[in-house]
Structure 1
Amino acid sequence: MTDLKKTEAPVNTVTLNRNVVDEPTQNIYEAISIVAKRANQINLEIKKELLEKLDEFATYNDSLEEVFENKEQIEVSKYYERLPKPHALAMQEWLEGKIYYRNTLEENSEK
Structure 2
Amino acid sequence: MNFKDIDAPTSTETYNRGKIEEKTGNIYESIVIMGKRAEQINQEMKTELIQKLDEFASHTDSLEEIFENREQIEVSKFYERLPKATSIAIKEWMNNDIYFRNPEEDSAK
Q: Which has the higher helix share?
A: 2
Equivalent AA in structure 1 for residue 95 of structure 2:
E
Overall identity of the aligned pairs, in %: 56
Bigger mean CA offset, 96-105 vs 59-68? 59-68
Aligned residues: 109
Q: Which runs of 4+ in 1 moved over 3 A?
A: 62-68
Q: Distance in 2 between matches of 1:34 and 1:50?
A: 24
CA RMSD of aligned residues (A): 1.4
- The alpha-carbon deviation at position 12 of structure 1 amounts to 0.3
Task: Render the CA deviation track for 1:32-67: whole Å, top value 9, x for unaligned.
Answer: 000000000000000000000000000112755654
Q: Distance in 2 between matches of 1:49 and 1:101?
A: 24
Q: Corresponding residue for 1:14? A: 13
Q: Distance in 2 between matches of 1:61 and 1:5?
A: 32
TM-score, normalised relative to structure 2: 0.93
Q: Distance in 1 between matches of 2:61 and 2:17?
A: 53
Q: Corresponding residue for 1:31? A: 30
- The alpha-carbon deviation at position 6 of structure 1 amounts to 1.7
Equivalent AA in structure 1 for residue 14 of structure 2:
T
Q: Does the residue aligned with 2:5 lie in a helix, a strand or coil?
A: coil
Q: Corresponding residue for 1:71? A: 70
Unmatched tracts of structure 2, length 5 or more:
none
Q: Corresponding residue for 1:93? A: 92
Unmatched tracts of structure 1, length 5 or more:
none
TM-score, normalised relative to structure 1: 0.91
- The alpha-carbon deviation at position 104 of structure 1 amounts to 0.5
Equivalent AA in structure 1 for residue 6 of structure 2:
T
Q: Distance in 2 between matches of 1:99 and 1:49?
A: 21
